[in-house]
Chains A and B, each alone.
Chain A
Amino acid sequence: MVSAYEVAATVPDPELPMLTLHDLGILRDVSEDGDTVIATITPTYSGCPAMREISADVQHRLHAAGFAKVTVRMQLAPAWSSDWITAAGRRKLATAGIAPPSAVAPRTRPIPLTLGQRPAVACPRCGSPRTTRTAAFSATACKSLHRCDACCEPFEQVKAI
């Protein structure tokens, strides 16, 4: 029988379905308390509207795999970081035409203000470093919008947070 962790880990993210919850780094823990499976997940952004769906998917998959009692819990601390997206997750994002996030800069105080352009992101389609960020926010809170000046295609990047 597949372990409860493996079942929960392979649930796809509803917004980025090419990634599993494990790839995205939002599955924090799966433990068993008697006959109850307790899965702990963390939101990427405070207002992420997909948390409810993710929670329901985890419950549903675990039920289908034979775990009758399932509890899904939220965990806020430590806050999710895009650094937690796995190497496999980053490859899957790039294959799907979404640039993976750059490494999160170490936290400093006070938090620096960015007035200029951020470093350009390599185009996930043609690999060119000649790209322009067209918007700091995209169709979801976790992505920004870019345009490749070489192949002229628009693309998204998962933001570093």
Chain B
Amino acid sequence: MSDDTPYEGLNEDSDDHRWAFGTGFTDPLQGIDTTVPAGLDAETLATYCLMLGDDALIYSHRLQQWMTRMPELEEETALANIALDLLGQARMLLARAAGIEGTTEDALAYFREEREYRNVRLVERLDEDFAELVGRLLIFSSWRLALFDKLAESRDPVLSAIAAKSVKELTYHRDYAAQWVVRLGDGTELSRKKMQAALETIWPLVDELFQTSLDPSIEPLLDRGEVDIVLDTVFATSTLDRPTLPAGAAVAGRTGRDGVHTEALGYVLTELQAIARQYPDAQW
């Protein structure tokens, strides 16, 4: 390949070589030892990876829906990069779950029904405005960063590696969101009002992030206080009030982690899965 004409590379190796056109998504865990360590329940590990992968997949899709709608080009590229990081995390986590369950990453992403998705309900929502976008991103990334920092010491070496890698990315996501929340909260009367309203809207869905249901040797217990310190720092700097709303209702005690979702998830999946379901034999 000649280094001064990068496009030439696209024609080499014929049709096997066209990443620029979106083809050739190989296994993101290719060549990695995926043996489940002795003493860990493989089924539980797969379920947990599915939960964390679904959070990232669905939220990445919601963030991608902002593309072409952001107020400035810089914010658009920022959000595209955050969505891409989460999509990368989702791919590795779904591949981890798929490897254990004897299926594929694509089958999990494109051919499951709503009730089979295990994401929290927070990630399904369609943002009403920019304030809600940055408020939700602050809460999601603060929680996920604290959790993944713990998971970097997971007994499963694959989950531990994915978490340690993601921590670096999530640190940037959290800073980005926090700086916007401060700018809006400590901005004009109108921006503060909208930012506060956005927090009130999201707040009932925050509790669900901290509910655990699996074996603690796989799903660690996260100290909510650790996340609250970060959020309270941002709220204090932005002159915003921490909402006091109670947690949103569960359905007979079940929430997103049990496959019970809000109506919003159906709209995400319809868009996310449409092409794969129309052309089930397509290769990409």
Contacts and interface: CB of A to CB of B under 8 A. Distances in A.
Nearest to A79: B165
Nearest to B170: A111
A74 B29 contact: yes
Given A56-B13, A77-B161, A136-B175, A47 B74 contact: no
Contacts of A52: 19, 24-26
Given A45-B169, A77-B157, A111-B167, A137 B176 contact: yes
B46 to A, nearest CB: 18
Contacts, number: 144
B119 interface: no
A110 interface: yes
Q: A48, A53, A76: which has the most chain B beta carbons within 10 Å?
A: A76
B87 interface: yes
A46 B161 contact: no
Interface residues of A, number: 46
Given A52-B26, A74-B32, A113-B175, A135 B165 contact: no
B116 to A, nearest CB: 24
A57 B74 contact: no
B11 to A, nearest CB: 12
B220 to A, nearest CB: 14
Given A71-B31, A137-B77, A57 B1 contact: yes
A89 B149 CA distance: 30
B160 interface: yes
A126 interface: no
B36 interface: no
A46 B176 CA distance: 18
Nearest to B92: A46
Contacts of A57: 1, 9
The 8 closest A-B pairs by CB, nearest first: A73-B31, A47-B88, A46-B88, A77-B161, A135-B74, A76-B161, A47-B84, A137-B78
